[in-house]
């Protein structure tokens, strides 16, 4: 069974819940048991999506115990190749606010990639470039043995950040910034008091 890990920005929590609740090919969903997983777990339960919360150090042994046999796959998130059957997904949400220090954000994402690559067939980085702090992941982490996947827009370009995701891509984001030059803050659903 292929294992896809997702390193997730909590700003995109609702989108992640929607995707994982709708995808019936995800046989097993494992959440890294950290504080950041609690609201995700609650939202997944509300959608009747079964999942387990496990400490990061226990996930690898859990996967081995379930006798998952990793297999290489090219892409499970697009129409370019057949989707994997009976996929196991490991979700590692990172804390909100990392974007306020781009070096901390980069360090947290890179550290997670290194940990998750030990048992993953692929890792989806559910972040944008985030001020270009994550723009060079592939060249910085050439020693990682599993492929990395990124959020892209309709033109195949990596997404700039979570606001570009919410607006439908980099082009829409650029157009909105040009049209509303005096906008200081974009608000998304995760900016409400229970989301942060």
pTM: 0.81
The pLDDT of residue 20 is 93
**Looking at the domain assignment, is residue 139 inside a domain?**
yes
Neighbouring CB atoms inside 10 A of 67's CB total 7
CB 63 within 8 A of CB 122: no
Q: Is 12 domain-assigned?
A: yes
Provide the number of structural domains found in the chain.
1
Q: Give the C-alpha separation, 64 to 178, whole Å.
A: 51
Residues 6+ apart with CB under 8 A from 89: 3, 4, 5, 6, 20, 26, 28, 29, 30
Domain span at residue 123 reads 3-191
The SS3 call for residue 156 is: coil
Q: In this structure, is residue 196 part of a structural domain?
A: no
pLDDT tens digits, the chain, 196 residues: what are they?
Answer: 789 999 998 888 888 999 999 888 888 999 999 999 999 999 999 999 999 999 999 998 898 887 544 444 434 444 333 344 678 999 999 988 887 888 999 999 999 999 999 999 999 999 888 878 888 888 899 999 899 999 888 888 888 887 888 888 889 888 888 888 876 667 666 655 444 4
């Amino acid at each position: 069974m292929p294992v896809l890990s997702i390193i997730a920005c909590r700003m995109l929590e609702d989108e992640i819940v929607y995707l994982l609740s709708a995808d019936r090919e995800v046989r097993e969903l494992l959440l890294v048991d950290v504080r950041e997983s609690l609201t995700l777990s609650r939202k997944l339960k509300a959608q009747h999506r079964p999942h387990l919360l496990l400490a990061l150090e226990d996930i690898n042994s859990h996967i081995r115990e379930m006798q998952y046999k990793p297999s290489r796959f090219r892409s499970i998130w697009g129409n370019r190749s057949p989707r994997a059957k009976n996929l196991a997904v490991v979700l590692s949400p990172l804390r909100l606010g990392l974007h306020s220090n781009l070096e901390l954000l980069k360090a947290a994402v890179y550290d997670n990639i290194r940990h998750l690559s030990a048992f993953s067939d692929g890792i989806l980085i559910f972040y944008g470039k985030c001020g270009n702090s994550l723009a060079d992941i592939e060249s910085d982490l050439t020693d990682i043995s599993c492929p990395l996947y990124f959020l892209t827009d309709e033109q195949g370009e990596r997404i700039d950040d979570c606001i570009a995701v919410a607006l439908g891509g980099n082009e829409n984001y650029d157009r909105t910034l040009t049209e509303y030059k005096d906008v200081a803050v974009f608000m998304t659903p995760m900016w409400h008091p229970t989301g942060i």
